[in-house]
């Protein structure tokens, strides 16, 4: 099996799909790894670190033409997608519900696509592959730092000869992996922090970090995958009204409600922004090309409202911590490769729950049930035999 590491091409992306430590794990297991020269430079990994880990260097064109597995951070760019060949596997955070038509086209060409964000998070054996959590952790940590840098006052209480500065009040909306890291970071920096979540079960995790917990009268709980389930329109309106009344008392707001393939819920309304204190900061981790959690936010853009509130669209903030984020992502990729190709051959077992979920396409068809449904395709026959792709 030959695994190819390419430089990421998305604007502002600084991570790399495999760091040198991940490459070393693969090569020690008998895998062949080929790295594009300079692929890890933005994440501070030198080419020499990759060769010391057992990889060889090659051009982008050589890697695409010869490698059987290509890990990626995001859905491949147009040139890479066009060049992929039958039985070649791409694995990473592919955002399949946004890229459904493109994935269907790849499936028709026989490309194997593996989307790690579809991993069933409730399975303990799948945790090592949980790239969504690893990158959310990095994003949440960084969100606290970004908020502190944009806020023009002290975060902690400061007692000086010139007087006492009161601590900043911060609220983190959504207390999943990203939210908990954001809470922990703001707490370390000295802010008074509140965690907000519609899942009442999150109270214990929030309070264990020394933060206050706030919830809504609308408490829909989690879906089967462990995420907060989607609300009805009426529930959203009720939640927004309650939350708007609470938010105006905070100096820093961090939102984390990212919904792959759909418009994220708007949690901080325009009226709320108008009522917030001048100098307040909102960091929107849910920001995307479809909108964000904060009214008027735009991904990868900082806006200051007429009332002096700074809104930072930060949907891919893990890229701001490229070394650590790449290290964690690399471990996720190694775990996924070990699961899908334990003997150096890509073997998709459609009876395995992990394979059923993360493998979006193989053997010439879209196979993930949720993606098939979204595409309007009939369910696959239940008696399909496990397929084996030759990894040359």
CATH of residue 85's domain is 3.40.50.720
> Of 303, 320, 337, which residue constitutes the final position of a domain?
320
Whether residues 347 and 309 share a domain: the answer is no
Whether residues 122 and 170 share a domain: the answer is no
Whether residues 21 and 32 share a domain: the answer is yes
> Within 13 A of 388's CA, how many CA atoms are on the CB side?
7
> What is the DSSP pairing of strand 56-58 with strand 112-115?
unpaired
d(CA 217, CA 252): 23
Which residue in 21, 47, 203, 227 is the catalytic one?
A: 227
User: How does pLDDT run along the chain (392 residues), one tens digit per residue?
Assistant: 899 999 999 999 999 999 999 999 999 999 999 999 999 999 999 999 999 999 999 999 999 999 999 999 999 999 999 999 999 999 999 999 999 999 999 999 999 999 999 998 788 888 999 999 999 999 999 999 999 999 999 999 999 889 899 999 999 999 999 999 999 999 999 999 999 998 888 999 999 999 999 998 775 554 555 555 566 778 777 878 889 999 999 999 999 998 877 889 899 999 999 999 999 999 999 998 889 999 999 999 999 999 999 999 999 999 999 999 999 999 999 999 999 999 889 999 988 999 999 999 999 999 999 999 999 999 887 765 444 444 44
Containing structural domain, residue 238: 138-320
Burial class (CB in 10 A: 0-12, 13-18, 19+), 356: middle
Whether residues 168 and 29 share a domain: the answer is no
d(CA 144, CA 223): 27
Q: What is the DSSP letter of 380?
A: P
Whether residues 261 and 312 share a domain: the answer is yes
Phi, psi of 264, deg, nearest 5: -70, 155
The answer to whether the CB of 173 falls within 8 A of the CB of 257 is yes
Vertex 58: Cα angle to 57 and 63 (nearest 5) = 120
Is-catalytic flag, 154? no
- Within the chain, strands assigned E span 2-5, 32-36, 56-58, 69-72, 89-92, 112-115, 158-160, 163-165, 169-173, 192-196, 212-214, 252-255, 281-284, 302-304, 310-313, 346-348, 359-362, 365-366, 387-389
> Of 292, 320, 348, which residue constitutes the final position of a domain?
320
Whether residues 69 and 215 share a domain: the answer is no
Whether residues 296 and 332 share a domain: the answer is no
Residue of 132, 141, 80, 362 lying closest to 260 (CA atoms): 132
Whether residues 220 and 308 share a domain: the answer is yes
Question: Among all chains, which residue has been given the structure tokens 């990421």?
Answer: 8
Question: Among all chains, which residue has been given the structure tokens 């806020």?
Answer: 151
Which residue in 19, 130, 197, 284 is the catalytic one?
A: 130
Whether residues 205 and 292 share a domain: the answer is yes
Residue 249 CB neighbour total at 10 angstroms = 12
> Within 13 A of 261's CA, how many CA atoms are on the CB side?
18
> What is the DSSP pairing of strand 69-72 with strand 56-58?
unpaired
Burial class (CB in 10 A: 0-12, 13-18, 19+), 49: middle
Is-catalytic flag, 200? no
Residue of 296, 194, 202, 204 lying closest to 246 (CA atoms): 194
Q: Could you tell me the pTM of the whole model?
A: 0.90
Is-catalytic flag, 130? yes
Whether residues 242 and 292 share a domain: the answer is yes
Q: Tell me how many domains the chain contains.
A: 2
> Of 270, 303, 320, which residue constitutes the final position of a domain?
320
Whether residues 68 and 205 share a domain: the answer is no
Which residue in 121, 199, 331, 372 is the catalytic one?
A: 121
Q: Would you state the structure tokens that stand for residue 373, as one six-digit string?
A: 């449904």
The answer to whether the CB of 285 falls within 8 A of the CB of 178 is yes
Is-catalytic flag, 356? no
Question: Among all chains, which residue has been given the structure tokens 């806006």?
Answer: 303
Whether residues 162 and 254 share a domain: the answer is yes
Is-catalytic flag, 197? no
Which residue in 42, 68, 88, 133 is the catalytic one?
A: 133
Which residue in 127, 323, 324, 356 is the catalytic one?
A: 127
């Amino acid at each position: 099996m030959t695994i190819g590491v390419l430089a990421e091409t998305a604007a502002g992306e600084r991570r790399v799909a495999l760091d040198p430590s991940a490459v070393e794990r693969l090569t020690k297991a008998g895998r062949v790894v080929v790295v594009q020269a300079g692929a890890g430079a933005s994440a501070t990994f030198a080419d020499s670190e990759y060769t010391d880990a057992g990889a060889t260097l090659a051009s982008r064109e050589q890697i695409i033409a010869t490698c059987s597995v290509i890990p990626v951070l995001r859905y491949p760019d147009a040139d890479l997608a066009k060049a992929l060949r039958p039985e070649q596997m791409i694995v990473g955070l592919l955002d399949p519900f946004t890229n459904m038509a493109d994935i269907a086209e790849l499936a028709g060409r026989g490309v194997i696509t593996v989307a790690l964000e579809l991993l069933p998070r409730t399975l303990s054996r799948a945790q090592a592959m949980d790239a969504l959590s690893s990158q959310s952790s990095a994003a949440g940590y960084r969100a606290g730092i970004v908020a502190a840098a944009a806020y023009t006052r002290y975060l902690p209480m400061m007692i000086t000869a010139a007087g006492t500065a009161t601590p900043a009040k911060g609220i983190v909306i959504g207390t999943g992996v990203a939210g908990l890291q954001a809470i922990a970071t703001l707490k370390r920096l000295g802010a008074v922090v509140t965690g907000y979540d519609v899942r009442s079960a999150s109270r214990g995790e929030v309070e264990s970090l020394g933060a206050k917990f706030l919830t809504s009268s609308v408490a829909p709980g989690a879906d089967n995958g462990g995420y907060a389930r989607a609300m009805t329109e009426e529930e959203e309106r009720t939640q927004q009204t309650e939350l708007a009344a609470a938010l105006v008392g905070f100096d820093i707001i961090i939102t984390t409600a990212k919904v792959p393939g759909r418009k994220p819920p708007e949690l901080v309304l325009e009226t709320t922004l108008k009522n917030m204190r001048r100098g307040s900061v909102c960091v929107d981790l849910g920001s995307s090309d479809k909108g964000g959690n904060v009214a008027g936010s735009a991904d990868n853009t900082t806006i200051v409202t007429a009332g002096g509130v700074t809104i930072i669209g930060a949907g891919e903030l893990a890229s701001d911590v490229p070394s650590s984020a790449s290290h964690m992502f690399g471990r996720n990729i190694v775990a996924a490769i070990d699961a899908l190709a334990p003997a150096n051959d890509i073997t998709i077992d459609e009876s395995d729950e992990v394979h059923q979920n993360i493998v979006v396409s193989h053997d010439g068809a879209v196979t993930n049930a949720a993606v098939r449904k979204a595409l309007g395709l009939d369910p696959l026959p239940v008696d399909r035999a496990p397929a084996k792709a030759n990894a040359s």
